[in-house]
Amino acid sequence: MFSILRSIWLVFLHMFHKRVTVEYPEKKNYLPPRHRGRIVLTRDPDNQERCVGCYLCAVACPVDCISLQATEDENGRRSAEFFRINFSRCILCGYCEEACPTDAIQLIPDFEMSEYNRQNLVYEKEDLLIDGQGKYPGYNFFKHAGVDAGVKGKGGGADEDQPVDIKKLMP
């Protein structure tokens, strides 16, 4: 009997507590920077696109929502001819961000993407590409890669050895 009265009294005291509801959309919850929200394609420090069209993100995606086609320019630098993400399928898991070798595709803490028309949820490359470097500043893939794509010559990278001269006997 006493426990019943005590329950009633304690619940009554809840009247004087602050309410825990966050009144969206006037107030928003804090989202940490690694929160997996909308997908963006980022650029280099030299303002070139980071995406090299390697298809790794499309392969990693568990719901197959990424569709892209690679193309190469005259210097041998690969990029994506078209890059399409169907956000009605995307589950914002972040596997594509983990798979990307160039830190091109990233997930940012923005989730407000509602649409009335389902076709408007299919984002093309011009919708995804941003002007900044995203969460990983200072990384240019072509400065570390082995290929010569107009950014540096072979062997010119920071952690690279010079290429071996195949016509000589010395190491």
Binding site for another protein (CB under 8 A): 4, 7-8, 10-12, 14-15, 17-21, 23
DSSP per residue over 92-161, as a string?
A: ---HHHHH-TTS-EEE-S------SSGGGGEE-HHHHB-SS-TTSTT--GGGTSSS-SSSS-TT-STT-P
Name the minimum Å distance from CB 25 to another protein: 11
Residue 20 or 169 with smaller CB distance to another protein: 20
Please state, in angstroms and rounded to a whole number, the distance separating the CA atoms of residues 171 and 50: 35
Q: Are 64 and 21 in contact (CB under 8 A)?
A: no
19 versus 167: smaller Cβ distance to another protein: 19
What minimum distance in Å lies between the beta carbon of 28 and another protein?
Answer: 16
User: What's the min distance (Å) between Cβ of 114 and another protein?
Assistant: 17
Specify the residue, 23 or 161, whose C-beta has the smaller distance to another protein.
Answer: 23
What is the rounded distance in angstroms from the CA atom of residue 140 to the CA atom of residue 73? 17
The smaller minimum CB distance to another protein, of residues 10 and 169, is found at 10
Nearer to another protein by Cβ, of 14 and 168: the residue is 14
**Shortest Å distance, C-beta 23 to another protein:** 7
Radius of gyration of the chain (CA): 25
**CB of 18 vs another protein, minimal distance in Å:** 8
